[in-house]
Structure 1
Amino acid sequence: MKIAVIGAGLGGMAAAFDLVKAGHKVVIFEASEVVGGLASGFKEPHWSWSVERFYHHWFQSDRAILGLIKELGWQEDVMFRRPKTVAYHQGEFYPLDSPLAALRFPGFQFPWGILRFGLVTFYLRYLAQWQSLENFRAHDWMRQWYGERLYQTLFQPLLEGKFGPHYTEVNMAWMWARLKARTTRLGTFRGGFQVFADRLADHLRSLGVSIRLNTPVTQITKGRERLLKITTTSEEEFDQCLVTSSPAQLARMAPELPEDYLKGLLRLKSMGAVVLVLSLKHQLSRQGYYWFNIPKSAGYPFLALVEHTNYLDPKFFGGDHIVYCGDYLDPDHEYFRLSEEELLSRFIRVFPKFNPDFKPEWINKVWLWRTSYAQPVPYLNHSRNIPSIQTPLKGLFFASMSQVYPWDRGTNFAVEICRKAARLMMDSV
């Protein structure tokens, strides 16, 4: 078959890998100038590694992406480290990434708070099934079983930070998935995610896949006989097409989809992301902390501060210290309209709280990245709302992070669902 894949993220390229190995002719259309999707990166001339636009890492439990890397024979280039993650409590930051750190965390009531936290978390990780949990709002379930104090200290900030005004409506299966699959050791690819994406793209090209960058698809319609017509600046017909973009983009591109399917796509809610990346002359966190989780109620202008070079050595970035300031927001939030200078002014006002010695003169360079599609919002019984991979339009398939539920978005589950889509495409013939 002649197959189109729309989107050169890691998921789309993984699907193309399976399809071309099975003997099909594959063309990937990518609107951007680079491959990698939301995991793509950028690089300064004096850096030996790239930096991701939106902070990314892998967990040791990420079987799909690590399995793909093993198939390619590149596992020696995967690095796992255990950086320090901290939580906010009453104006201070405390490590909370190990049992010993939990014992020392002042937000817990000792000993009953610790015991309750351990028992409930054990139940969720090893005994609970997500199908029953999606009937409950995480806001209600966690208040009942973890207790009000622990919920307000640890879990409400996480939910509110990820989902903003929608946080009380998110179902408990989403939280279950976070506790079930995540690990304290975090992984990356030697040279950065962009190096991995570029190597995968080059490998696909060597197998015969055509990757067309700077080529946005504007429409997918029925073509001659049972073919699909893909419209860019020109028109081309394919036997099948896999779309790996957002539900809203699919709805715009494929107006011939049945009304019920289109309505289902447009009902899906997602949060956007705004990330400001800074290159600094000096280390910001003198304690060497990597990830600062910050509750909205604390009054900071962002959700998380991530000091990338407290995870990876600054020598990979020419001695620069790389810091991310990120937030998940509704796409109509003012942060999507403010300029880089305006956001920088707001964000660095709080940098002295992380390091009293900070001065604006420390800043080498700043980059601003925004996307309107970053975090799907799973409401009650969300599994009923997931669009099918095989759409009602003959030959058209859809695989996105809105369909990896109950798991959270990320490159691992993007690869998993896109490879599943590739199998369905081949089996449907």
Structure 2
Amino acid sequence: MRIAVIGAGIGGMSAAFDFINAGHQVVIYESAPYVGGLAAGFKDEGWEWSVEHFYHHWFQSDRDMLGLIRELGLQDKVVFPRPKTVVYYKEKFYPLDSPLAALTFPGFTLPDMIRFGLVTAYLRYLADWKPLEKVTADEWMRKAYGERLYSVLFEPLLQGKFGQHYKSVNMAWFWARFKVRTTRLGTFQGGFQAFSDTFAEILRKRGVEIHLNTPVERIESGTNGQVNILLKEGEQVSFDQCLVTVGPGLLAKLAPGLPEDYLRGLLTLKSMGAVVMVLALRHPLSEEGYYWFNIPKSAGYPFLALVEHTNFLPSRYFGGDHIVYIGDYLDADHEHFRLSKEELLERFLPVLPRFNPRFEPGWVRKTWLFRTTYAQPVPLVNHSQNIPAIRTPLPGLYFASMSQVYPWDRGTNFAVQIARRAAKMMLEDLTKRN
């Protein structure tokens, strides 16, 4: 059978891996000039490793991603450093990524620490997500953790992640963060782009066709249960099945022949975009070696997070450059999606001395700007009722995206999980047809 995959992200390539292993012909269409999707990266001259457009890492609990890597025989190329994460409290940053750090954090009293430990342990080991999706995270955590803990730790995270929507996000989303995340963070030798390129080469050697710079214009029903894919310049290709791994809004645009209720479900899903600027600095920004700075919007910073990548990986991999991400989750109509790189840099540079008083604009060697309007789904109360079905009502057309990984948060691990679940379903459906 001939199977098409729309999108050469890690999820799309994972599904293609299962299809080719089952003996089918597989063609991947990707509009970008590279594989990797939202986990793709870039390399500047003199760098040994790539840097991701949007900061990425793996957790030690990422069983689907790490399991795939083992299947590919690439497990020896995965590394798991333990970087330092800090939170903002009264004009300073403090580590809060271990029990010892919690004991010394000035924002906690002893009763706070006991309450924090008990509630967090409940969420991690005892709680079930289904009742939690019936209440907002704002409401549940205010009661469970108390106003003080909530306002210091959790409200800033929700506000930064979801902006004006933060009071509407359900508690199951927060539960998922406690349930599976680890303090050790992983990456691939050479960067995520090195993994994606290696994965793509393995697929090509197995017979998968990967067409880059090839956007799909439309997906329609064909004859005899086939799916027709229309490319630019009127070219039409027919397949027995098609898996779409892009966002729900783009699927609605590509397949307007889907039934109205399914289309409406795709278009009513809320999501946030991401704006990320990458700086190559001549000197380290954090003298304490901090990797991830969580920043409350109320503190007056024009971004959500500052991530010093070279406090996670050595600067020697990047020609001696010190790599800093400045990132934010924003609604797609926010002005940061319209401003030029130079205009955004003018807003960001004046606050960098708050991380290091010695910082000067002359430290900046080069900058890059990356934006996407689809980066973070917004799960509302009872969100499980809104998840689009993998098997769409259009015969032969299937959908697997990060909008369907709920209650888990978006990321490459769950992209692999949802894509391989879709692949299994598709293969079973092929067996029934034949």
Q: What is the TM-score of this pair, normalised by structure 2?
A: 0.98
Aligned to 1:115: 114
Is 2:76 the partner of 1:57? no
Tell me the distance in 2 between the aligned counterparts of 1:341 and 1:394. 48
Letter in 2 for 1:377: V
Tell me the distance in 2 between the aligned counterparts of 1:368 and 1:3. 35
**Equivalent residues in 2 for 1:385-400, closer than 5 Å:** 385-400=386-401
Aligned to 1:2: 2
Aligned to 2:135: 136
Residue 305 of structure 1: CA displacement? 0.1
Letter in 2 for 1:37: G
Letter in 2 for 1:159: L
Tell me the distance in 2 between the aligned counterparts of 1:58 and 1:225. 42
Aligned to 1:160: 159
Equivalenced residue count is: 428
Q: What is the TM-score of this pair, normalised by structure 1?
A: 0.99
Is 2:349 the partner of 1:365? no
Aligned to 2:41: 41
Residue 366 of structure 1: CA displacement? 0.3
Secondary structure of the corresponding residue to residue 80 of structure 2: strand
Superposition CA RMSD, Å:
0.5
Aligned to 1:427: 428
Tell me the distance in 1 between the aligned counterparts of 2:224 and 2:240. 10
Is 2:145 the partner of 1:146? yes
What per-residue deviation string (whole Å, max 9, x for no partner) do you get for residues 35-86 of structure 1?
Answer: 0000000001200000000000000000000000001111000000100000
Tell me the distance in 1 between the aligned counterparts of 2:162 and 2:221. 37
Tell me the distance in 1 between the aligned counterparts of 2:85 and 2:357. 20
Tell me the distance in 2 between the aligned counterparts of 1:224 and 1:262. 22
Aligned to 1:228: 227
Letter in 1 for 2:92: E
Is 2:360 the partner of 1:334? no
**Equivalent residues in 2 for 1:9-408, closer than 5 Å:** 9-109=9-109, 111-233=110-232, 234-408=235-409
Secondary structure of the corresponding residue to residue 283 of structure 1: coil
Tell me the distance in 2 between the aligned counterparts of 1:248 and 1:381. 21
Letter in 2 for 1:163: F
Unmatched tracts of structure 1, length 5 or more: none
Tell me the distance in 2 between the aligned counterparts of 1:92 and 1:249. 42
Letter in 2 for 1:178: R
Task: Quote the sequence identity (%).
Answer: 67
Residue 224 of structure 1: CA displacement? 2.2
Tell me the distance in 2 between the aligned counterparts of 1:296 and 1:362. 25
Tell me the distance in 1 between the aligned counterparts of 2:156 and 2:13. 35
Residue 160 of structure 1: CA displacement? 0.6
Residue 223 of structure 1: CA displacement? 1.5
Aligned to 2:417: 416
Runs of 4+, deviation exceeding 3 Å: none
Tell me the distance in 2 between the aligned counterparts of 1:329 and 1:106. 30
Letter in 1 for 2:22: A
Tell me the distance in 2 between the aligned counterparts of 1:199 and 1:142. 43
What per-residue deviation string (whole Å, max 9, x for no partner) do you get for residues 125-181 of structure 1?
Answer: 000000010011000000001000100000001101110000000000000000110
Greater Cα offset, 216-225 or 20-29: 216-225
Residue 106 of structure 1: CA displacement? 1.1
Residue 198 of structure 1: CA displacement? 0.2
What per-residue deviation string (whole Å, max 9, x for no partner) do you get for residues 337-381 of structure 1?
Answer: 000000011011100000111111111100000000000000000
Tell me the distance in 1 between the aligned counterparts of 2:267 and 2:107. 40
What per-residue deviation string (whole Å, max 9, x for no partner) do you get for residues 239-294 of structure 1?
Answer: 10000000000000001100000000001000000000000000000000000000
Secondary structure of the corresponding residue to residue 47 of structure 2: coil
Tell me the distance in 1 between the aligned counterparts of 2:10 and 2:48. 22
What per-residue deviation string (whole Å, max 9, x for no partner) do you get for residues 302-330 of structure 1?
Answer: 00000000000000000000000000000
Letter in 2 for 1:14: S
